[in-house]
Amino acid sequence: MAAGADDFGAGNIDDPGGWQRPTEETGPLERGSELEQLVREQIRGTKVKPGDVEAILSTLGDSPAGREIADTIASGRFREASGFSDVVSNMSRPSELSGCLEQIRLANRLHEAGLTDISFELKQGGHEIKPGVLTGPKTDLDLVAREADGTVHGWQFKDMTGADSPAEAGKVVRNIFKKIGQLTDSQADIQTFVVDTKASKLDMETQLGRLEKGYEGKNVQFVIRTPDGMFFIPRGGRFTPEGTL
């Protein structure tokens, strides 16, 4: 018999500990505004291609979350962070915006909690994620944060709500395990896989035992967001450096 949701720290949809999927309610970037000029100034001199700037601004001007993202870029808080230019560049493609928003919102949350050693878009092998420890070839982390004691956290966001994505929970979990090497190869001390699925909460409950075994065997934590609720695996996991959810 499969374990119940409560055995695995199912998230309360009314109190999800800051892990709600971004709702994009902040409003678009006002084109021609002072904020736009600040964004341009912060992008200038980074690795963002000059030819992508107008496309990025157009994306922010069309997005319900454009102003929020623009505020973050304009603040300059992540300008020197490794990989942040890649996140900004990705916004030249509107289809990439939802993933960028996830990264930026979590990074802002960590920064507000006092964590400043943050990097983005850590991919492939050969990166020294901590002294003497290199990432493996399958590595693909959307966000990395290091605590003062050297503990390294890595997160990967995966959206499985598209038209071609499975709606059956068993297939969702199978897809998760196909991608799990993106985290395990990273060698991060604490690895968290955040997955959006169109499978129902009730259906996903039947698969929690498999995910718990995945945590026990691979040391990967899971935040599973369904249309009608959330699950956090394992109970008491450290899903963010500032504490448990």
The answer on pLDDT for 9 being more than 70 is no
Q: CB neighbours of 99 closer than 8 A, spacing ≥ 6? A: 90, 142, 157, 159
The answer on pLDDT for 88 being more than 70 is yes
The answer on pLDDT for 21 being more than 90 is no
**For position 170, what pLDDT does the model report?**
96
Kindly report whether the peptide bond that precedes residue 64 is cis, defined as omega within 30 degrees of 0. Answer: no
Q: In this structure, what token pair is assigned to residue 90?
A: 């990705």
Region 24-33: mean pLDDT is 90
**For position 24, what pLDDT does the model report?**
67
Q: Kindly state the percentage of the chain with pLDDT values over 70.
A: 91
Q: What are phi and psi of 198, to 5 degrees?
A: -90, 0
**For position 243, what pLDDT does the model report?**
57
HSE-up of residue 219 (Cα within 13 Å, Cβ side): 11
Q: In this structure, what token pair is assigned to residue 14?
A: 């009314």
Q: Which of 4-8, 113-117, 188-192 has the highest mean pLDDT?
A: 188-192
210: left (phi over 0), alpha (psi -120 to 50) or beta: alpha
Rounded Cα distance, 145 and 120, in Å: 9
**For position 10, what pLDDT does the model report?**
40
**For position 45, what pLDDT does the model report?**
95
The answer on pLDDT for 150 being more than 90 is yes
**Predicted confidence band of residue 2 (pLDDT cuts 50, 70, 90):** very low
- Inter-CA distances, 4 with 8, 9, 65, 125, 207, Å: 7, 9, 36, 38, 10
Q: Kindly state the percentage of the chain with pLDDT values over 90.
A: 83
Q: In this structure, what token pair is assigned to residue 82?
A: 């490794």
Tens digits of residue pLDDT in 36-75: 999 999 999 999 999 999 999 999 999 999 999 999 999 9
Q: CB neighbours of 118 closer than 8 A, spacing ≥ 6? A: 78, 81, 107, 110, 111, 143, 144, 145, 146
Pairing of the two strands 128-130 and 118-123: unpaired
**For position 16, what pLDDT does the model report?**
53
Q: In this structure, what token pair is assigned to residue 107?
A: 């990074």
